[in-house]
Amino acid sequence: MFQLKNKKAIVTGGGSGIGKAVCLIFCNAGADVFVADLNKDAAEKTVEEILSSGGKAQALPMNVTNQHEVITAFEQVGTVDILVNSAGVSHIGKVETTSEADFEKVFNVNVKGVYNCQFAAIPIMKQNGGGVILNLASIASSVGIPDRFAYSMSKGAVLAMTLSTAKDYIKDKIRCNCISPARVHTPFVDGFLAKNYPGQEAEMFEKLSQTQPIGRMAKPAEIAALILYLCSDEASFITGCDYPIDGGFIKLNN
């Protein structure tokens, strides 16, 4: 079950965190993985790890905010069976502490980036008789998170785009879903703690972990496992859905 043999998959943000975990699990499922990332070195490191385990992968350096660059990269791949939009940035701040530049940066990566990749992938998928798109939303799409104004805006847009795309292309056999993780232990978390709480990293890590009812953060591999299912043929009856994967945050945190 959950095999992706003979499938070509583009994973944005594949150089680290959740995106890297998706690339690795897709490789194990037999997919030909294209590791898309702004950081070429990070993308190539993921590729090296996949190749060393006998998988198939290529680096696909690109800036998701640049539509021409995205289209060119997708045309190089040719057939696109699966697109995972994992690339994203975060921001901490309320509306009055969010600068216009910060707002635009979050919008350009998290919203325009998803749009650009779908814009490039969908015509290819239509020509090929279908495909699967999986977008990374967030619990911030559904509940209020303190000091995450711009980030919440962007992830709410991802959820709305997912539903719209699923509706518009269902007759083209293109499925589109999204998932909404809570906190996930990625390099971003470690960098955030080191920058903002030097010397208190372990204490703050535990504090953040305990905000999840389950008592810990998610592992990137756990998020990737759900993505694998939703992109596999076993999920062929699922489209237009958002799946929380949040350690009970949305339903049990009241």
Q: Catalytic site residues?
A: 151
Please tell me the distance from the alpha carbon of residue 224 to that of residue 236, in angstroms, as a whole number: 18
**Of 191, 218, 227, nearest in space to 11 by CA:** 227
Please tell me the distance from the alpha carbon of residue 113 to that of residue 67, in angstroms, as a whole number: 8
What one-character-per-residue DSSP string does 125-182 give? HHHTT-EEEEEE--GGGTS--TTBHHHHHHHHHHHHHHHHHHHHTGGGTEEEEEEEE-
What one-character-per-residue DSSP string does 69-94 give? HHHHHHHHH---SEEEE-------B-
What number of residues does the chain have?
A: 254
* Helix 187-196 and helix 201-209, axial crossing angle in degrees, nearest 10: 130
Phi, psi of 9 (to 5 degrees): -125, 130
**Of 28, 2, 32, 1, nearest in space to 11 by CA:** 32
Contact indicator for 104, 91 with CB cutoff of 8 Å = no
